[in-house]
Chains A and B, each alone.
Chain A
Amino acid sequence: MDRVLEDFVTALRLAGVRISVAETLDACSAAALVGYGNRLLLKDSLGAALAKSGREKDLFSDTFDRFFCEFPCTAVVPERGNDAPGDAPLPEDPLSRMLLQGDQASLAAALQEAARAAGIRAIRLPTQRSLYTVRILNALGLEGLDGTIRTFSGAGSGVSLAQADALQAARQELVDNVRQYVEQQLDLYGRGLVNEYLEDALRKTRLSHLEQRHFEKMGELIRRLVKRLNDIHSRRRKAARRGHLDFKRTLRHNIPYGGFLFDPKWKQRKLNRPDVLVICDISRSMMRLVRFFLLFLYGLNEEILRIRTFVFCSNLIDVSDVFERYPVEVAVDRLQQGTGLPIVMGLTDYARSLKDFRMQYMDIVTRRTTVLFLGDARNNNSDPDAHVLRDIYQRCKRLVWLNPEPRSFWGTGDSEMKRFLPYCHTVRECNTLDHLERVIGSILAATRH
């Protein structure tokens, strides 16, 4: 029975449930303990051992129902009334025999066996359907059946001819059955791969070209990437916190107790939490990128990163409090619609926005601040006053400019990128999820010393 579990685990993995070998072993012992007799009990037990989150529970339940369902084989010669040729000899070939006897149960079992022999577990792509159908049919013994049909029709007697016709019909039905079976198995094993392809493609697609229907998937992808970054960096922060005995402080602290040292004090290293200041251009051309960027950034653990966010179009405003008040998704939506925000969504004006920033917020830029500037630097043919950026550049620790346009487009048309270039520490082209991950990873790593 363990082979069944193995297949089931494969199907689950392909459906997107992450299962380790240890968990498979747990599932085996759980199944051994409760047995296969009670379907619901088995489902509960395997569910406890294999699916470890709400999402996985749903996937599990769905896959369980599809995996442990009986496949009905309808391809049998229908029993006829009195005119049934009871005296006709049963053929040698087992498949024809099963069909003629109307033995659905054995037929279903034979189908399962044939499918296993044909290696149906390996089916992944819709184009493999015919291949597996043929393989299973061969393993079932289609050739024998064809032989029987030929013999019957060759025999010439009325009874045999009727038998041959009936078998021919059953054969058609059988082929149909096997096709459906393969379809079902493809649904079971093939889904995961499609998912994988999709994820891979999504990571490399330009964010501005992304379709609305993939947004949910993107959210999920971002959550996974963010979790990884969180894991990597929070561990390091914690490691830095462990202290040693601070002897000087212990002595000082224990002086009132007559020099008896019984209240030890510990050395504490101050943690370095990077200060990040984000300035985003939220004109229509930039909104998609900004959306995903902020989803990414605000997903990061608060302990790793301290963020203040400013957005601009025709003028610049501080939106940090929007992110404090609402969950990230809601906050990003509010930015997109501009609800309750004093922002003018006219022509993008870099000069005005930069000056706004210098006027009101220059004092929060310190030597520890990393400034992230998201913009395409398209200023509608007016002077961008790039020297204001220089003031920020000189005050901050690091200024990173992320531009969604490819490098070759910088400086063409109304792009003023070339004039901003001298005042940036780092400039990156950034328009896919892969880029985003790399950029944010490097920010976290660089601000860590």
Chain B
Amino acid sequence: MNDDRQNRIASWEAVQQGFRGTGYIADRTIATTVYLAWHLGKPILVEGPAGVGKTELAKTAAAFLDLQLIRLQCYEGLDEAKALYEWKYGKQLLYTQLLKDKLDEIVSRDNGFSAAIDKLYKYDDIFFSRHFLEPRPLLKALESPDGAVLLVDEIDKADEEFEAFLLEILSDYQVSIPEIGTVAAVSRPFVFLTSNNTRELSEALKRRCLHLFIPYPDAGLERRIVRSRVPDLPDRLEKQLVSFIQEIRTLDLKKAPSISETIDWARVVVLLHAERLTSEFVRETLHVFLKYQDDVHTVEERMPQLTSLLLRNEGG
């Protein structure tokens, strides 16, 4: 199985081919970085605007390598208890209550107070054993026997403290649980971290990762992506649609449409059986790829120029 994986990822071209097979069009940079990360055993930090396929990259890698995908969605206030492991406190307390009689029995057999403490001391490790440990995504990824793809999504949304906590996992693939000891990875997970750049990540984290920046795709790449994702879209429409989106990205918008929005729009076009992209049709479906009212206004104002572009593309 492992050899099989090594074969599959033998060169960056193989990665590109394989990803295409699962419907993800990767350019040279992406394929090279994935290839390097796998062979160097490094995490990949993926940055780029929202919706260019950062999360999708990890999913595709998991599918391509036939590994389990373990996802950790980051948010403000995320801590070890949610990310790594948690003691089942409730269960612990409940057990002590339920086992009260048993405990009484153990303790009452000895008369002295210190003897009773000594007796209890022998048992207390029971409550901090694996039975009472709730593994969260990070620990799951380390313990999965076959290796896994670990996706730490939107790391920039988590607190800086959490970032520092991740360092041990990212560099040594192990974690320390005070009550149990150090847990090392059974099989090294393939780690992806994604960030939307809402804040600058720490140097220490960046140092441990390979860095991949995914920008908005150029027209050629975007057309290939749309073709692979929405195969029903007629060729002529696809060209028009992509060049229209590309043109819109050059406008000054709050949130420029990204690949996922292009794909959404392409699906809408297919669903509505549009014959051609007319200005009315575009106007009615603007909301599919523009998420702010201000942006919709900006684009509507420019509609005449943009439509003439559509017509030109239709002719050509």
Contacts and interface: CB of A to CB of B under 8 A. Distances in A.
Interface string B228-243: 0000000000000000
Contacts of A47: 29, 211
A34 B207 CA distance: 21
Contacts of B42: 26
A40 B28 contact: yes
Interface in B258-300: none
A44 B12 CA distance: 11
A263 B210 CA distance: 42
A10 to B, nearest CB: 18
Nearest to A263: B90
Interface stretch (B32-40, B102-110, B147-155, B218-226): B32-40
B89 A264 contact: yes
Contact-residue bracket for chain B: 20 to 34
A435 B39 CA distance: 48
Nearest to A230: B160
Contacts of B200: 53, 227
Contacts of B301: none
Contact of B33 (A44, A227, A263): A44
A260 B94 CA distance: 7
Interface string A239-275: 0000000000000000000001111100000000000
Interface in A1-37: 18, 20, 22-23, 26, 29-30, 33-34
Contacts of A225: none
A48 B32 contact: yes
Contacts of B161: 234-235, 238
A260 B97 contact: yes
B94 A262 contact: yes
Contacts of A51: 211
B93 A44 contact: no
Contacts of A231: 160, 202
B255 interface: no
A307 interface: no
A30 B40 contact: yes
B71 to A, nearest CB: 23
Contact-residue bracket for chain A: 20 to 34
Majority SS at the chain B contact face: helix
B221 to A, nearest CB: 15
Contact of B36 (A30, A227, A262): A30
B4 interface: no
B211 A18 contact: no
A18 B203 contact: yes
B213 interface: yes
Contacts of B94: 260, 262
Contacts of B32: 34, 41, 44-45, 48
A54 interface: yes
Contacts of B36: 30, 33-34, 45, 48-49
A26 B47 CA distance: 19
B69 interface: no
Contacts of A262: 89-91, 93-94, 97
A164 B202 CA distance: 63
A260 B93 contact: yes
Interface in B35-54: 36-37, 39-40, 42, 44-45, 47
B206 interface: yes
A214 interface: no
A29 B40 contact: yes
B39 A33 contact: yes
B33 A48 contact: yes
Contacts of A23: 207
Contacts of A52: 45, 206-207, 209, 211
B212 interface: yes
Interface string B74-96: 00000000000000011101100
Nearest to A21: B207
A44 B203 contact: no
A44 B28 contact: yes
Given A26-B42, A33-B36, A262-B93, A234 B160 contact: yes
Contacts of B146: none
A57 interface: yes
A238 B89 contact: no
Contacts of A53: 47, 200, 206, 211
B38 to A, nearest CB: 10
Contact of A48 (B89, B203, B208, B212): B212
Interface in A343-386: none
B256 to A, nearest CB: 16
A404 B37 CA distance: 52
B157 to A, nearest CB: 14
Given A26-B210, A48-B210, A41 B12 contact: yes
What 3 pairs across the A-B complex have the smallest Cβ distances? A262-B90, A52-B206, A44-B32
Interface of A: 18, 20, 22-23, 26, 29-30, 33-34, 40-41, 44-45, 47-49, 51-54, 57, 227, 231, 234-235, 238, 260-264
14 contacts: A22-B207, A30-B40, A41-B12, A44-B33, A45-B36, A49-B210, A51-B211, A52-B207, A52-B211, A54-B47, A227-B200, A235-B161, A262-B89, A262-B90
Given A231-B160, A262-B94, 15 more contacts: A20-B203, A22-B207, A26-B40, A40-B28, A41-B28, A44-B29, A44-B32, A44-B33, A45-B36, A48-B33, A48-B37, A49-B36, A49-B211, A238-B159, A262-B93
